[in-house]
């Protein structure tokens, strides 16, 4: 362990860093290297409720969009996802503290709206890359 600490300290640390940077750039720029580039989902909220905490995030496969609400017990929450022309793309209904699934949205820009019964609790934009 003592030898390991001596190798990492001082000049050895400077030698390790550039090697790591070169290795990372070679692996990530080489097509077919086996690294999976995740699908990015960016959420912009226009209306945000303090009483109903809505979370939109991707599953571990980076293709499925999930949403959950931490809000009022016993309420049903419904999310609608529209394309920019106003056409309904997908929807999902969950109860408080459950997780809803929005299957593989194609890359593009979307509008979303979350309702608790008939009351809008959040809306905004989704950008899927």
> In which element (H, E) is residue 22 found?
helix 11-29
The percent of the chain in helix, strand and coil, each rounded to the nearest 5, is: 20, 45, 35
Measured from the Cβ of residue 49, the count of other Cβ atoms closer than 10 Å reads 16
pLDDT score recorded for residue 82: 96
Average pLDDT of the chain, as a whole number:
75
Percent of the chain topping pLDDT 90:
46
Mean pLDDT, residues 96-103 taken together? 91
12-48 confidence digits (pLDDT tens): 433 333 333 333 233 333 344 443 334 578 889 988 8
């Amino acid at each position: 362990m003592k030898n390991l600490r001596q190798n990492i300290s001082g000049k050895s640390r400077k030698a390790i860093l550039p090697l790591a940077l070169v290795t990372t750039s070679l692996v990530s720029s080489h097509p077919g290297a086996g690294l999976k580039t995740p699908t990015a989902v960016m959420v912009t909220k226009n209306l945000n409720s303090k009483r109903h905490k809505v979370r939109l995030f991707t599953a571990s496969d980076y293709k499925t969009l999930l949403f959950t609400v931490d809000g009022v017990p016993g309420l049903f929450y419904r999310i609608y996802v529209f394309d920019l022309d106003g056409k309904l793309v997908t929807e999902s209904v969950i109860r408080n503290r459950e997780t809803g699934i929005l299957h593989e949205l194609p890359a593009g820009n979307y509008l979303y709206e979350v309702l608790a019964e008939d009351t809008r609790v959040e809306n905004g934009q989704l950008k899927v890359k």
